[in-house]
Chains A and B, each alone.
Chain A
Amino acid sequence: MSAPAVELVTVNVDGREVQVPKGTGMIETALAAGVEIPVFCYEPRLGPPVGACRMCLCEVEGMPKLQAACTLTAQDGMELRSAQTSAKAAEGQNAVLEFILLNHPLDCPDCDKGGECPLQDLTFRWGPSNTRMHFPKRTFEKPIPISPTISLDRERCILCYRCTRFSEGVSEDLQLVAAHRGAQSIITTFEEEPYRAHFSGNVTELCPVGALLPSTYRFRARPWEIDNTPTVCGLCPVGCNTWATTREGKVQRILSRNHPEVDDGWLCDKGRFTFDHLRAEDRLREPLVRVRRRGFEAVGYDDAVREVARGLREAGGSVAIAFSGGETVEQASALARLVRQGLGGDAAILPDDLDPAVDAFRAPLSAIRDAEICLVLGDEPVMERAPIVDLWLRAARRAGAEVVTVGPAGSVSTPPGSAAATSAELAGGGGSDELRDAGRRLREASRVAIVWSGDDHDSGRRAATLAASLGLGDGSGLYVLPRSPNGRGVAQAWYEAGEGRGFDPSGEEELGALIVSGDEAAYDPRVAQLAERARFVFATSMFTGDHTLWAHVVAPGTSYLERDGTVVNLEGRAQRQRRVVDPPHLDELELLARVGTELGVPIAPWAAEATVDDHAELAPRAQLEAPPEFAPAASTNGAGPGLELVVYRPLFSGPGVERVESLAFQRPAPEIELAHADAQARGIATGDTVTVGLNGSGRALRAAVRRKLRPGVARIAAEHADGLGSHVEVTKA
């Protein structure tokens, strides 16, 4: 495929000649010429310009009136004069600012945007120095919490429509709209419903004034009092680049840091608002050691290290680790070396175990947007597992790509748990007509993106096989979504530390010692079962939880904002996580280094300096050594009475989110999603209370009818599925 020839045009901006590709926006053209044109509403990531704010007024040769530069594109021979050389344009901009400020309250000392406010800055540079407005300004009730995390101040709004364009054209949640007309226009949500969307927090960053602000940052700090640390979010496998704002040693907010290949400057609400869990009340602050059966006693680190070393040494090589998948590579490597080299164990529960073959089809996430056709496979909703990937898929669809979703709720409907079988059918050209058709189009397209979002342990291998058989070349990408934020890095670190490939936790024999690393692992029921068989359990975790029932030594853990190290995201991109604030105790790596000293394994107590750069590059593709073969796909869906239950792990779940009060509204409601046909057969409508369960022993949940869902399938969030089997009967209560 060859790139289309680019036609260069010559544009004159303020007397400076500049050559740009034809059709470039005038703001970028002027920037290329070294001229800054001030803007409020213009934001190329939000789609086509709207010219709402008129801040970019410029004089264009041959046009009698001032033009909004953001709506113009570069044409050959164009002569543009900005406010810097044209008095007419300067007067126009001055007047626009005076007009914008007519109803804008002068409460900058109260406003949290003060100091980092584009309206302040541009008024200072281009605007009037005084006001002629001596009449009462338009007032509204303020602030209005449009969601528990965002507050809206309508007085300050300058109606640039950035937020509504984001809601309509990027996240496509269609919840934020502009109502009424003229001076009475307001930004609002439908019927005062809260703005409940996975990406709602981005509007607070887009807003060029203090109209939409995060409630969590309300009156916390001023721009000159804060430190911004560049880091990487550690809450999902995407690894969005972020700025963490701290004041007086406390995290106050998280902002996105645009990595055009990973996140395009967007950040989900989980990444943006979960930081509050650092200050959770039930956080562990000192090591705890079990004292007989009574309970725990807080001890110093010296005692804890001695106790851990003793317990591990007595295990005699029968040692297992349960990883969370949130650890840094350095931490995982330290644990792996401790067990494999220091104790001679070779058992680990890895949250993700991707086959290295997927690296042969590695591509940046931004390649999804440029794809001609995208294939999404698997039962787990992409939005709940790696939200940014969903945003890229939406961008691809807007750019004209076809997005084929295959799964129980997909455009090609398949039974749950059949992703493996479906991929074999796609590769072999079999299956239903729809699937055969999709397979043909995938083979014909030159740029393909395959997103695999399932819990199958072999998914990496199967996905790579599918990609190989479809002949994915340059410009195409394969994205297997791991379960955990750094699952790939953890698995890599584990395999690098020694031989052997994990183990089956479902044995019966006694275990010498078990190391539980992190809260996610501590919450895992498999790990709890394993712990019952272990003579000694050492757990690190941030919060008190169930594991305090079965662990012998518990050391306080750190959050991703409190440690330094490398994380590997779903693309296979190694990125640097930086310590933003100091943990209230020793960090895990330091503790492991001290345990290592006791056991004779040298472990560096800190991550190596500058493992990767700020904007990490993606490593080149690996060579595919031998085209992998299709392993026979075991069908996981068994027949049973009633509806087959698909349990997904919602994005807003996990030990961190559970401890953030302001995110409670984002967590899934206690409802069960039903297919239209099933609901109709049972006389259920959306909003009805239904009884879910078998043999009459059920629980009451709210029903939500989904037209896309496959008949015979019901879907439910994991946190409401406790105790429900693979099949349930749903009856109207």
Chain B
Amino acid sequence: MSPQPLPSLKGFAVTLRQIFRKPITQEYPEYKRPVYPRFRGRHRLNLHDNGLEKCVGCSLCAAACPADCIRVVPAENTPQNRVSPGERYARIYEINMSRCIFCGYCELACPFDAITLGNEYELSEYHRDDQIYTKEMLLAPPIKQVPVADRERYDTPEPVWKTES
């Protein structure tokens, strides 16, 4: 028997009470909590409506990047191989995600809104080399993030931005 039986019993009562409540913790990755709209996650390279790339390979994002994680190698558009509307396009566009600090300066520096930061944050890899995102990866549409489990099972508070607006 515990030297202080009464407080122990009080504690057990709390536990007993919580057992019948909905859990406040969120099961990740079964449930993925929605992020705020200005959340800065994985980068995306955007396309024009006609399918051409918005990026012209001007390297301003690389200049703005404080972590020096962007590498751009431009090349010239030819009539046979037109990639972007201007004279030049980014032949190589790489972001080293293991270096990126997600400050969003690249997005601010971009004169063509070609690079934007999306909502994805699941960027773990088994190898460092895989952390270097190529242009093809950045151009690809993001994998849709949906909660995988029933939201009603959790006692999740509504995000502030949702309750206020």
Residues of chain A whose beta carbon lies under 8 Å from any beta carbon of chain B:
107-110, 114-115, 142-143, 218-220, 222, 224-225
A110 touches B63 (CB 8 A): no
Interface flags, B94-130, vs A, CB<8A=1, else 0: 0000000000000000011000000000000000000
B76 touches A218 (CB 8 A): yes
Q: A143 CA to B77 CA in the complex, in Å?
A: 12
Q: A224 CA to B86 CA in the complex, in Å?
A: 21
Interface flags, B65-92, vs A, CB<8A=1, else 0: 0000000001110000000001110000
B76 touches A219 (CB 8 A): yes
B62 at the interface (CB under 8 A from A): yes
Q: Which segment, of B16-24, B53-61, B144-152, faces chain A?
A: B53-61
Q: Say whether, besides A109-B86, A219-B74, A219-B76, A114 and B58 are in contact (CB < 8 Å).
A: yes
| Option from A110, A143, A220 in Cβ contact (under 8 Å) with B58 | A110
| Option from B57, B63, B74, B111 in Cβ contact (under 8 Å) with A224 | B63
A219 touches B57 (CB 8 A): yes
B75 touches A219 (CB 8 A): yes
Q: Which of A108, A142, A222, A224 has the most CB of B within 10 A?
A: A222
Residue of B nearest to A223 (CB): B63
Q: A709 CA to B62 CA in the complex, in Å?
A: 57
B56 touches A110 (CB 8 A): yes
B59 touches A225 (CB 8 A): yes
Residue of B nearest to A220 (CB): B74
B86 touches A107 (CB 8 A): yes
A109 touches B58 (CB 8 A): yes
**Nearest CB of B to A154, in Å:** 14
What residues of A have a CB within 8 angstroms of the CB of B86 in the complex? 107, 109-110
B76 touches A109 (CB 8 A): no
Q: Say whether, besides A219-B76, A219-B88, A109 and B56 are in contact (CB < 8 Å).
A: yes
What residues of A have a CB within 8 angstroms of the CB of B62 in the complex? 222, 224-225
| Option from A107, A142, A143, A222 in Cβ contact (under 8 Å) with B59 | A222
Q: A354 CA to B57 CA in the complex, in Å?
A: 52
**Nearest CB of B to A151, in Å:** 10
A–B complex contacts, Cβ < 8 Å, 15 sampled: A108-B58, A109-B58, A109-B60, A110-B56, A110-B58, A110-B87, A110-B88, A114-B58, A143-B87, A219-B57, A219-B75, A219-B76, A222-B59, A224-B59, A225-B62
**Nearest CB of A to B94, in Å:** 12
**Nearest CB of B to A210, in Å:** 11
Residue of B nearest to A222 (CB): B59
Q: A108 CA to B63 CA in the complex, in Å?
A: 14
Q: A213 CA to B112 CA in the complex, in Å?
A: 24
Residue of A nearest to B57 (CB): A219
Residue of B nearest to A143 (CB): B87
What residues of A have a CB within 8 angstroms of the CB of B112 in the complex? 109
What residues of B have a CB within 8 angstroms of the CB of A224 in the complex? 59, 62-63
A222 touches B63 (CB 8 A): yes
Q: A225 CA to B111 CA in the complex, in Å?
A: 18
